[in-house]
A and B are shown apart, each in its own frame.
Chain A
Amino acid sequence: MARALITVPRTAKRGEILEIRALVQHPMETGYRRSSEGDLLPRDLIRRFSCRFVESGKTDDTGVIVIAATLHAAIAANPYLSFNLRAATSGTLAFNWEGDNGFSHREQVALIVT
């Protein structure tokens, strides 16, 4: 039951630089920790994150990468990422997290640029 919290302004002026925040629920189990019984807890990490911008009226796969990341065990649980976007045209921001054990989570947020 993964949840994500995305913070993006709903509207922006052309040329404005926006701050985007993305928080996702995930334990980021390192694979180096042991349980109280001494068993090694298996690694369970989010490995990849991406945020793509898809112009209004275009299909999803035409999206351009704003930022992409490869994450490792040193990223804190419930990964938080903040980055920027220069508002050019209206469109959709598509967020994607992928990880161990088939973990996958997607979110989409519309952005109106005036």
Chain B
Amino acid sequence: MRKIGVATRVIALAMLGFVSLAVAQSTRQSGFDFMQPATQALQKDDTQNPAMLWVKDGQAIWAQRDGATQKSCADCHGDIKRTRGVAARYPQYSAEAKGVINLSQQINQCRTTHQQAKAWPAEDASLLGVETAIAVESRGQPLAPPAQSQLVDAQKRGEAAFDRRIGQVDLSCRDCHESLAGKRLGGNIIPQGHPTGYPIYRLEWQAVGSLQRRLRNCMTAVRSEPYPYGASELVDLEAYLANRAAGMQLESPGVRP
């Protein structure tokens, strides 16, 4: 009887743990939920979402032969629709790169190794186009970082960075995007910082941009020196954010203020 009691307590505790986790997950909200209806309308309707122009670009590039091998993305991968779910699994560990890479780095890796073409620079319109065209195929898919020990290490480094106060303003990511999320900064609501919409069309940029651009933007805003594009520190943060948002639906291409 006593044994059963203990077991029951253990189960009850486990259930409690599960319940609190479930609550934490249900309180996660996309930045979409904090936007004005006018901005939400832009994202909800593909005929109005300017990011669809980048998607169209990327779809065209997907079929174009390039580089010394004169191969297209489609020559190896087939129809772009077959990439469904792919964008939801980045960043991930790449044996070829011997490290954790994000989707844009994967695209450039394909370019340099399989097409033998020059890598696109960070935030290049073609790179963002292909990335956005791949991401849109995973719309509605849950973010699903793969179980890889190297990725877990990157997530841990990213979490440490998320908690580290930086810049003259001396704030960590968590200070704003968890402790103060949902509160107002000026007239804006501070979002929880989930990377569910990337690449995004940001009204401030008047163009599509990557998560790294947004992260660098935050770092500048707290008066710290941002890491350069492609830095492993940024990829680690991306890996942590993807894990923190695991299970949330990808909504690329998002529109944000």
Contacts and interface: CB of A to CB of B under 8 A. Distances in A.
Given A1-B125, A77-B206, A78-B206, A23 B57 contact: no
Contacts of A78: 50, 53, 206-207
A21 B49 CA distance: 11
A7 B53 CA distance: 13
Contact of A27 (B47, B54, B207): B207
Chain B interface bracket (under 10, 10 to 19, 20 to 34, 35 or more): 10 to 19
B52 interface: yes
B53 A5 contact: yes
Chain A interface bracket (under 10, 10 to 19, 20 to 34, 35 or more): 10 to 19
Interface in B165-213: 206-207
B81 interface: no
B48 interface: yes
Contacts of A77: 50, 206-207
B53 A21 contact: no
B223 interface: no
A110 B32 CA distance: 35
Contacts of A41: none
A21 B57 CA distance: 19
Interface string A68-93: 00000000111010000000000000
B52 A5 contact: yes
B56 interface: yes
A25 interface: yes
14 contacts: A1-B125, A3-B57, A4-B53, A5-B52, A5-B53, A5-B56, A21-B48, A23-B47, A23-B48, A23-B53, A24-B53, A27-B206, A78-B206, A78-B207
Interface of B: 47-48, 50, 52-54, 56-57, 125, 206-207
